[in-house]
Amino acid sequence: MTNNDIFKKLRVALKLTNTDIVNICKLVDFKVSESELGAFFRREDHPKYRNCGDQILRNFLNGLVIHLRGPMPDKRKNKPEQKKRD
């Protein structure tokens, strides 16, 4: 199974549009265009087909986690202050 297949299946299962995917990638500061996404979702024998690299799929998955769960809380704000012993 290729990265393209995984990407296609996630898009269909989550009912995402290309605009949704672009916005999800923006959550992790990764820029991808809608036309570039179209090349990933084409059939392999199409002349404009493009392989989906690991970096693109990784950034999409990281953005998807943020999209579904929300941003990770800042651990520095939640630390209780330590009491000083005299």
| pLDDT tens-digit map of 3-12 | 999 999 999 9
Structural domain boundaries of the chain? 3-70
Three state DSSP letters for the chain:
CCHHHHHHHHHHHCCCCHHHHHHHHHCCCCCCCHHHHHHHCCCCCCCCCCCCCHHHHHHHHHHHHHHHHCCCCCHHHHCCCCCCCC
Average pLDDT for the chain:
89
Place of tokens 């392999």: 44
59-69 residue pLDDT tens: 999 999 999 99
Mean pLDDT, rounded, for 10-35: 94
44-53 residue pLDDT tens: 999 999 999 9
Distance of CA 70 to the CA centre of its chain: 13
Q: Is the dihedral of CA 65, 23, 11, 32 positive or negative?
A: negative
Mean pLDDT, rounded, for 25-43: 93
Instruction: Report the interhelical angle of 18-26 vs 54-69 (nearest 10°).
Output: 90
